Amino acid sequence: MQFDTSNTPTIKRRLTTMIYEGVLLFGVVAIAGLLFSPIFQQRHALYLRHALQYWLFFVIGAYFIWFWIHSGQTLPMKTWRMRLVTLEGKSLSFKRALARYFLAWLWFLPGLAIAWALDAKAWTAVAIVLANVIAWALTARIHPSRQFLHDRIAGTKLITISKSK
């Protein structure tokens, strides 16, 4: 099977976009946390912490899924001229965007699970999660389409869009 990688963003460009995305998510998470605390009268960080974690998981998912199904682009993706589409080049459905969101957590969850299973502390836990992230990023290097593993499983791809005049 032939894969066209001519419009696939470079791995470096996609990872840079992810860093930018993290900066924006910091604000989204802060606002979501500020809404959660007074609504549920959370006066201590450990009080309702699991409910807060579920809430943030939902808010982050809503953020990504909404942008992916409406324009195929979050703000960082627009800045770096990338769009998320199906393998056929069409807009994502809610179901496919939801699947991609859950699959994208594989960047972190296996490493976190291994660190938890090994009872790793401090920098050891960080190193395990970082090794997981690096391994996941390398999945794009070994596949001819140059797409990350979660995109291949979800049936999506990131493409470069040309500069508008």
* pTM passes above 0.95: no
Percent of the chain with pLDDT over 90: 70
pLDDT at residue 6 is higher than 90: no
| Residue (of 150, 139, 108) closest to 125 by Cα position | 108
Please tell me the distance from the alpha carbon of residue 98 to that of residue 101, in angstroms, as a whole number: 5
Note the pLDDT of residue 1. 43
Average pLDDT over residues 32-61: 88
Phi, psi at 150, each rounded to 5° = -65, -30
pLDDT digits (tens, 9 = 90+) for 48-62: 888 889 999 999 999
- Mean pLDDT score across all residues of the chain: 90
> Distance between alpha carbon 72 and the CA centroid of its chain, in Å?
13
